[in-house]
Amino acid sequence: MTPQQPPSDSTSRRSFVQLAIGWSVAALAAAASSGAAVRFLVPNVLYEPSLRFKAGKPDDFPDGSVTFLEDERVFIVRQGNTYRCLSAVCTHLGCTVGRSELGFHCPCHGSSFDEQGKVKGGPAPRALEWFMVTLSKDRHLLVDKNERVDAEKYLVL
Amino acid sequence: MKAWKWFEGSRVGRSVFRVGIPRSNLERAQAMVSSFLLHVQPAKVNRRTLRPATTLGLGLISLYLLGILTVTGILLMFYYVPATDRAYDAMKDLQYVVSAGLVIRNMHRWAAHLMVLFVMLHLCRVFYTGAYKRPREFNWLVGIALFLLTLGLSFTGYLLPWDQLAFWAITVGANIAAYAPVVGPELKFLILGGNSVGQEALIRFYTLHVIVLPALMAFMVSVHLWRVRKDGGLARPEEGADRLERIDVEHLPTNKSYGLMELTRSTSLQVGKNPEDEVFSWPHLVFREMLLLLAVIAVVLFLAVFWNAPLEEVANAIHPPNPAKAPWYFLGLQELVSYSAFWGGVVAPAVLVTALVMLPYLDRQAVGAGRWFARERRLANTVFTIFLIIAVVLTVIGSVFRGPNWGWVKPWAQPPAVTEGH
Amino acid sequence: MSLENPRRLYPAFILLGAAVCILVAAAYYRDEFRQWKDIQRQFIREEMRRASTPQQRLLARNIPVQIRQVVLPELRRVDRCTTCHMAVEDPSYGGFPQPLAYHPLHDQHPFERFGCTVCHRGQGHATTTADAHGHVPYWDQPMLPLRYIQASCGQCHEAADNPAAPELARGEQVFESNGCRGCHKLGGVGGVIGPELDRVGGRRSADWLMAHFRSPASVTPDSAMPPQKFSQADLEAITLFMLSQTGASMTGFYTSMKVVPSAAQGRHLFQQKGCIGCHSLGGKGGSIGPALDDVGMRRAPEWIMRHFRDPQSVTPGSVMPKFGFNESEVLALTEFLLHLRDQNLALSLPSLMSPVERGKEIFRKFGCAGCHGQDGKGGVPNPNAKTGEQVPALLHVADGYTREELVKFITMGRHQVDALDAKRPAPPLYMPAWGAVIEPAEMADLASYIFSLKPKGDDLGF
């Protein structure tokens, strides 16, 4: 900075190293703080319906019934002593499908599905999803939406 | 280093940084002028500006605190819900389940208290250095507005946690407002959106706190900074005094040239006039400002990591705490109100604000600007100091010497065993 | 080199930057190392230890370490207790040390419907032991000590109807028979000398209540309340009953449970709907319908319920109208009829009692004994009162008052009690005006009862 007395090389080098360390530390602090801010925005608890939930007692669902569960947006399908759980979320753009004579129908863009969830028409790219059904320790149907299964997989009681 | 040099020289680097790391005086000037963030400051500043004692950096600290408050405040908005049945739960969630939620809330709380404090200190500094004198009268008025905005922001934010502390501080504060002459009760009704603190008050305070007052604040801060520049930078003592105070004289090269930006009016730098008192803002000023920013962040973080912001029981209109206290910066007023609602609630704040607003127009004497406790301003300084001491004493009394039923307590004595009265 | 040269400040730059780094790291540390994570890892280790097949071991290893919560919008609660108490639903953890113990009663009160804090109190939001258990400043609902847990049953269940909460029933019994209502209102019924008790259970701790019963002045200096001489068991029972009075308003699902098994509710309905106009109990009542004393033995519960819904459906030609009871009313009335073997329930129907018996009930209902003593025998201290520093006994009212005078006295009260010594503080207890509370018919019964208190064969001696 003082042109009359140019600093010696060693002073200059030391200053440069100090400045470099200073900026590195400041950059680290900035990065860590930004990281904390992003982590802050990732929720640790959810108030939406759980992806793993108890659907009810097996006997709550009559034989041959397809029961819609509003909060969880799934159908519980019982045939004889077998239980399955079908997603009611259209694979096209996420609308909720309803029952129709042939199976299921999406009101948003007109996709239709058969009883097995297979696409029969409309823009839906894939069949409706089936979720794993198990029996909880207190003998309730336990659905896990994290686990997708084939249409042929049943819970047999 | 080589990579940086290459980047700096590249098309992208030049478009972003323009001059890069300045290596000549011309580039040092350009660094300031061509940068949006830096050009609010001149390319060269008086050497006094660098001295901590000149301003103690109080205004800049307030600005940094405002920055911290903005960032943490926006983050908190992602979780906060301004509804009476959810606000308190949001506080608990921040504390117990949100990553870094507690620290960010603490930062916001402590930075808010600090900002009120530093804005007040800044005001005192400007008074004691006579920096409100011509041509800076208007900027003093803008400063008063910023002071009131700061109080308003802090006060509106105080309610949002919806705990007992918040609820009763706002109840008490709103009732102090109701003592204002003529419009008092209507004012209270308007700010609360009803007759008592409830859902309507909460949403009003929230809207004021997150958009109305911050928008005003941003605008007024811009005006404030712009005027500092237009009024010729920091207030400086008369030439003679300055020369006497100068410690270190340096010889600058005679072959330098100055840009037009240095030709501003009045006390700022003029070509041919003691240029040896000027230094380049980059890096001298900018680097010091950055250090101060780091220091402010460090202090706020330190407070936030080791002390939690208060959160009492959920607001309950049936069980007021005894005593119910306003936020600390209103406790002087509350103490006065306890003697006389009229004198404390109406006359004192009115006189205070009026006196502050009129000050630069009453005190027209030009001498003594830019020096601390100038001898020529002995009367003004004495009067101000007396007011200041009264305000501090009242605030301290209201804060720590007042207990149940606004009776005297000794803060150092053990609090008496709480008897839960029916 | 110039004093102002920034190089001089480089070390400060490094230090400040490092300080910010360290503080950010401290914030991360505070966030990352939480007690509940250790507890969840302990649970996972235990599950691993118990796993016998590779599949079970995989399941155990995959248990996520995360905050668990039960969201209960109807109760306005979020309970995160299961973040640490992870094994509450698993009977195989019965007897396991806390926090990983099994919790019984899951069938009656499924946790996903009830959560934890609605019974145990504490701070459901919190995720550290001290905060969650609520023994911290600024949380006024610390965990209820287990020996008082039955207090929580009273939020939904009628005290007398819940065989699982005998202590609660006993507490109510102590409350009613000691005349607490003479001074205190509970559920809108009672005197005005002391404060209302509807929310007392949420505001006071068990220790406070105990101390208060033993010596009210020790915790409330200006209290007018005389010290109570309860046995230890009664003291604990009434403390528990007081703790049950939280003023919490349960809604929908929870209150429906309140009505279902309640014979007392049924008794109330039976009285209210005027069933006794047609049916008789214990030989009293109408003769249009059959006597109901043994109906619970003659008929199956299902039959009685169908009968309430539609009498003709089970007794063709019945003249009993369809009352349009809702299902919980049907259940309550059925419960009542099935419980008629319990003589007290039937005989306590006011319409079946004599005026003196009814008066005694009113004496009890409004807590007159609180000041005038059990059966009006007196003995309750009222310092500095002219009447022997005691509240007067009622045994000889019949000698000093006519019936009309007595009713007028109770109606108007006497707010100024004559002092023994004018210099000492005025006597704390006084007679409130009961006119607005006790109805005229009740007042007549009450007067009959008070007149009946005169000891037999005492006329000559006075």
Q: Is C69 on the interface with A (CB under 8 A)?
A: yes
Domain contains A47 = no
Q: Which of B64, B95, B97 best probes binding to C when mutated, by most C CB atoms within 10 angstroms?
A: B97
| Interior/surface letters C393-431, b for 16+ CB within 10 angstroms, e for the rest | bbbebbeebeeeebbebbeeeeeebeeeeeeeeebbbbb
In chain C, domain spans: 49-133, 146-243, 260-351, 353-452
Q: Are A32 and C21 in contact (CB < 8 Å)? A: yes
Distance from CA of C14 to the nearest CA of A (A): 4
Give the residue with greater pLDDT, C455 vs B354: B354
Which residues touch B289 (CB under 8 Å, ≥6 apart)?
B60
Distance from CA of A45 to the nearest CA of C (A): 7
Q: Chain B residues with CB inside 8 Å of C16's CB?
A: 291, 294-295, 298
Q: What backbone phi and psi angles, to 5 degrees, belong to B232?
A: 90, 30
DSSP symbols for B216-259: HHHHHHHHHHHHHHHTTSS----HHHHHHH-----PPPTT----
Find the CB nearest B99 among A4, A26, A42. Answer: A42
Which residues touch C341 (CB under 8 Å, ≥6 apart)?
C296, C297
**Averaged pLDDT, B198-225:** 96
Domain contains A131 = yes
From the list C51, C62, C61, the residue with the least C-alpha distance to C92 is: C51
Angle between helices B331-339 and B348-362 (to 10 degrees): 120
Q: How many CB atoms lie within 10 A of CB B325?
A: 18
pLDDT given for residue B392 in this prediction: 92
B77-101, pLDDT tens digit by residue? 999 999 999 999 999 999 999 999 9
pLDDT given for residue C256 in this prediction: 60
Q: Are C24 and A33 in contact (CB < 8 Å)? A: yes
Fold of the C260-351 domain: Cytochrome Bc1 Complex; Chain D, domain 2 (1.10.760)
For domain B52-232+295-321, the question of CATH label 1.20.810.10 is answered with yes
**Averaged pLDDT, C83-105:** 88
Q: Is A135 on the interface with C (CB under 8 A)?
A: no
Distance from CA of A11 to the nearest CA of C (A): 10
Same domain, yes or no: A36 and A57? no
The three-class DSSP label of residue B105 is helix
Same domain, yes or no: A60 and A31? no
pLDDT given for residue B375 in this prediction: 82
Amino acid identity of C256? S
Subunits with 3+ Cβ pairs within 8 Å of A are: B, C
Q: What are the percentages of helix, strand and coil residues in chain C, rounded to 5?
A: 50, 5, 45
**What is the band of C342 on the pLDDT scale with cuts at 50, 70, 90?**
low
pLDDT given for residue C84 in this prediction: 94
The three-class DSSP label of residue A119 is strand
Handedness of CA C13, C18, C21, C27 (dihedral sign): negative
C228: its two tokens: 């109570």
Domain contains A32 = yes
**Are the beta carbons of C143 and C133 closer than 8 angstroms?**
yes
B129-156, pLDDT tens digit by residue? 888 888 888 999 999 999 999 999 999 9
C220-266, pLDDT tens digit by residue? 888 888 888 888 889 999 999 999 888 877 766 776 655 555 677 77
**Averaged pLDDT, B340-368:** 84
Which residues touch C114 (CB under 8 Å, ≥6 apart)?
C72, C75
Q: Are B99 and A40 in contact (CB < 8 Å)? A: yes
- What is the domain count for chain A? 2
Nearest CA in chain A to C2: A2
B307-330, pLDDT tens digit by residue? 999 898 889 888 888 888 888 888
Q: Considering chain B, what is the average pLDDT of its residues?
A: 84
pLDDT given for residue C344 in this prediction: 54
**What is the band of B405 on the pLDDT scale with cuts at 50, 70, 90?**
confident
**Averaged pLDDT, C90-108:** 85
Q: Chain B residues with CB inside 8 Å of A26's CB?
A: 294
CA distance C14 to B226: 32
Q: What is the DSSP letter of A132?
A: E
**Are the beta carbons of B235 and B369 closer than 8 angstroms?**
yes
pLDDT given for residue C284 in this prediction: 77
**What is the band of B30 on the pLDDT scale with cuts at 50, 70, 90?**
confident
pLDDT given for residue B190 in this prediction: 92
Fold of the C353-452 domain: Cytochrome Bc1 Complex; Chain D, domain 2 (1.10.760)
Helix, strand counts (H, E) of chain B: 19, 2
- A141: domain CATH number is 2.102.10.10
* Reported pTM: 0.81
CA atoms within 13 A on the CB side of B19: 16
* Range with top average pLDDT, A119-123, B280-284, C320-324: A119-123
Give the residue with greater pLDDT, A69 vs B51: A69
Nearest CA in chain B to C131: B96
Amino acid identity of A22? G
Pairing of strands A103-105, C77-79: unpaired
Q: What is the DSSP letter of C97?
A: P
Is residue B342 pLDDT above 60, yes or no?
A: yes
Q: Which of A40, A42, A45 best probes binding to B when mutated, by most B CB atoms within 10 angstroms?
A: A40
Which residues touch A42 (CB under 8 Å, ≥6 apart)?
B99
The three-class DSSP label of residue C294 is coil
Domain contains A1 = no
CA distance C442 to C431: 18
Amino acid identity of C277? G
In chain B, domain spans: 52-232+295-321
From the list C39, C43, C244, the residue with the least C-alpha distance to C158 is: C244
Span C146-243 CATH architecture = Orthogonal Bundle (1.10)
Q: How many CB atoms lie within 10 A of CB B50?
A: 17
**Are the beta carbons of C179 and C369 closer than 8 angstroms?**
yes
Same domain, yes or no: A27 and A63? no
Is residue B201 pLDDT above 90, yes or no?
A: yes
Q: What kind and span of H or E run contains C434?
A: none
Domain that holds residue A18: 8-42
C404: its two tokens: 């009309």
Using CB atoms within 10 Å of the CB of residue C187, give its burial: 0 to 12 exposed, 13 to 18 middle, 19+ buried. Answer: exposed
Q: Are A37 and B251 in contact (CB < 8 Å)? A: no
Same domain, yes or no: A99 and A37? no
Same fold, C260-351 and C353-452: yes
**Averaged pLDDT, B193-212:** 94
Q: CA-CA-CA-CA torsion for C228, C231, C237, C243, nearest 10 degrees?
A: 30
pLDDT given for residue C218 in this prediction: 86
Is residue C347 pLDDT above 70, yes or no?
A: no
**What is the band of C323 on the pLDDT scale with cuts at 50, 70, 90?**
confident
Nearest CA in chain A to C90: A137
Q: Chain A residues with CB inside 8 Å of B101's CB?
A: 40
Q: What kind and span of H or E run contains C313?
A: helix C311-314
Q: What backbone phi and psi angles, to 5 degrees, belong to C138?
A: 65, 25
Same domain, yes or no: A76 and A145? yes
